[in-house]
Structure 1
């Protein structure tokens, strides 16, 4: 701006001018920006004109931490005031220069969703969930993300097929791989096991920094659109077509066979989709009970087919997902139900997987991300309304960084199912100050109302826990509907480490034992007196309601 013009502006006009520069600039690291960011906190609620032609800032300088926080806070304030255009521009800048702040992508995703920009919403909210996995907003939007990812995958598949002839082979990346479901050639109980096997392989291969792995939902949706079965992928022509449509340089698929129901054989192949050549055929055979080791051998074989050294992989690559075959079967059945949008069935199956193995993280993640059936058919506007912001106030949003401001969770999980109750603030290091220093780990707060169902294998009913807590000491009451052993009682106990141990005292006595991980509680009730002595009851939730705190 010329000096004679700049000096002729009033103070208010100067601030307005600098605000326009800030929100329109693609480079906001100028020394002038430091002053602008401070000015933004002065209560300015200017709406920036899209037709403004003010030039961007060319100088570069680093904003202070407080100035970055102010930029986020002002963007959130503009959003809450209804000035969405101004908020979007400020939050886009904040995401670029303050990537450790998780509230900027949350609110930016809200704005994108309100404008039906699904792809952009997915990117921002995936970033948010990765940084604040236990926040109450994450609890909500995981389910919306699943809906959006599926819809986006369908749209992309239809578009790719419609313009298939114009797709060029040059767009295919040699560092991208698609893992399709493995076909079952054995007994019927393993019909869906290939989906669980593929999901574990996708997770393993995703640990490799320079390898891009196509999301499972995109592969499955495209196969559905093509009406393509797993056996057809063995054909080089169809594999090449899939690679071109997915822009994947390699595809791997295979088969599972349980030999005499005691041993398991996994045969796979890795194909170069551009050369239409098989570059590897990893195989593994062993005891059915050792399926988890066989899966790792296949994962290593795939990497070796891509000229990588399996011995040089990150530690996360070698993590065993589960050693429980019943857990893997239930998880695989849940994935199949998800693929057919039978979400209630999927949630129950993922719950069964967690009952069999409470430490099965893939099943826990799937359960948390599975939508409710009532969510089918929601529009973008309805999803935005359902995920409306209810988190940190604008004044605190700037300090919301990974490892900093604590986030209270709003759901708890009994044996892996989302329960309608329990303020389970299970985040280690939460409750930090505004400077993002973070506090030390604290005992989880499990106080509140917990509602779910119980099942002993032959019958079931409803159960409600009302818990109070003082430090590690827990008290309260329990109500059990449908049980011949116990209907009501008092509870007392404590939280020690990751263990919750309660004694239930009523007409009969029982022990409640649970292990929590992140925001999950997995537990059982064991009766210790009366006719039901030694009987064990599993706790499950079939509703999946979320409550606000």
Structure 2
């Protein structure tokens, strides 16, 4: 994992409160935790008695940890929930509350390490979605802090800070009138990032880092990067290659994509790479753009890399549109809405 800062900034306070509210809205709040102080003390005594009989009882450790978490005794909650997880690592509820306790006591790095395991749990448990939401929210906030630090020392950055063969793909700008396809930019950029990730000699940057930088620079409404802004982006992202461009759907559903690569180490911008086709062949056009980009960078693909890039994630355009809307919602930290669109996309595909 990246060198995430190890202190919880004030900006996380609102996000943490939102997570607690989301917990209640999602119907995940434990109904067996007493509300009144007297009942809570009685419940604590009961759980402590169970632990006297069996100190390794994971359920008793978990429930006692949750009570202490809700009582703002975060260090004690952390200790109990950590112990519970040692004895029952498959319990998503325990892991979620452990992450919340770690956040609340200010250890962001530990919380991220806890939440990152959300994929180990069934999609049927709501705690998986809650952990995923907290992981992405914390990651975005931490990355934002990192960029604030970089911006403060921007004048000190040089080409020596750029990582060779790293590549950042910025959101594609929509250049057409039909609003139906205006949301495809995030998903098209994401597909390019995923495809470039199949090339062993390239190091694509995560979309979340690029979005965080755009937010810090207040580029959110117009994420286009050109020859004048690309050098700065390369230094701030430590990225060798900066890819930006646009797409459009016009006429009888004709699709067009135009991108260019700026090499921050050579201080050179490539000629524009353009692909057009019927909208029904949008994925074919996107793949051709990737192949042209790789060729422009000067990398010869292996047969296996080419085969992996050629794989199409879906043939359903509507599913792709819904997926892209989900990405937009995720970027806005609206994880509940994002999940709705992702589920709708999966149902159509």
Shorter-chain TM-score: what band?
0.5 to 0.7
Matched, 1:175 2:165: yes
Aligned to 1:186: 176
Instruction: Determine whether 1:160 maps to 2:160.
Output: no
Q: CA deviation at 1:346?
A: 3.7
Q: Which secondary structure does the structure 1 equivalent of 2:323 belong to?
A: helix
Secondary structure at 2:287's aligned position in 1? helix
- 1:338 and 2:330 are equivalent in the alignment: yes
Alignment size in residue pairs:
275
Q: Any idea what SS the aligned residue of 2:229 has?
A: helix
* Partner Cα distance (1:149, 1:328) in 2: 25
Secondary structure of the corresponding residue to residue 225 of structure 2: helix
1:323 aligns with 2:315: yes
Partner of 1:297: 288
The answer as to 2:242 corresponding to 1:242 is no
**1:31-55 deviation digits (Å, cap 9, x = unpaired):** xxxxxxxxxxxxxxxxxxxxxxxxx
**What aligned pairs does 1:100-249 form with structure 2 within 5 A after superposition?**
112-126=102-116, 128-132=117-121, 134=123, 136=125, 137-189=127-179, 190-228=181-219, 230=222, 232-235=224-227, 237-249=228-240
Indicate the SS of the match to 2:257.
strand
Judged with a 3 Å threshold, the aligned counterparts in structure 2 of structure 1 residues 316 and 109 are, in CA distance, closer, same or farther, namely: farther
Q: Which has the higher strand share?
A: 1
Distance in 2 (alpha carbons) for counterparts of 1:192 and 1:109: 33
Deviations 1:234-264 (A, max 9, x none): 22x3111112111211111111122413321
Checking the alignment, whether the CA contact within 8 Å between 1:88 and 1:111 is kept in structure 2 is no
What RMSD in Å do the two structures reach over aligned CA positions?
A: 3.7
Report the Cα offset of residue 129 of structure 1: 3.3
Are residues 182 and 86 of structure 1, via their aligned partners in 2, closer, same or farther at CA, if it must alter by over 3 Å?
Answer: same
Alpha-carbon distance change, 252 to 139 in structure 1, aligned in 2, over 3 angstroms: same
- The verdict on how the C-alpha distance between 1:342 and 1:109 changes in structure 2, with shifts beyond 3 A counting, is closer
Q: Is the 8 A contact 1:75 1:88 kept in 2?
A: no
TM-score normalised to the size of structure 1?
0.43
Structure 1 gap segments, 5+ residues each: 1-72, 95-100, 359-549
- Within a 5 Å distance, the mapping from 1:9-158 to structure 2 comes to 82=76, 112-126=102-116, 128-132=117-121, 134=123, 136=125, 137-158=127-148
CA distance in 2, matches of 1:266, 1:308: 22
- 2:224–2:244: 8 Å Cα contact kept in structure 1? no
User: How far does residue 290 in structure 1 lie from its aligned partner after superposition?
Assistant: 0.6
Deviation at 1:314, TM superposition (A): 7.0
Which position in structure 2 is the counterpart of 1:308?
A: 299
Q: Could you tell me how far 1:181 is from its partner in structure 2?
A: 0.8
Moved more, 305-314 or 217-226: 305-314
| Higher RCO (C-alpha 8 Å, min separation 6) | 2
Q: What's 1:256 paired with?
A: 247
After superposition, what is the alpha-carbon deviation per residue over 1:131-160, rounded to whole angstroms, capped at 9, x for unaligned? 446484534311211221222232223222
How far apart, in 2, do the equivalents of 1:78 and 1:349 lie? 37
In structure 2, the CA distance between the partners of 1:309 and 1:353, relative to structure 1 (3 Å rule), is same
Match of 1:46 in 2: none
Q: 1:219 to 1:271 in 2, by over 3 A?
A: same
The structure that has the greater radius of gyration is 1
Deviation at 1:193, TM superposition (A): 1.4
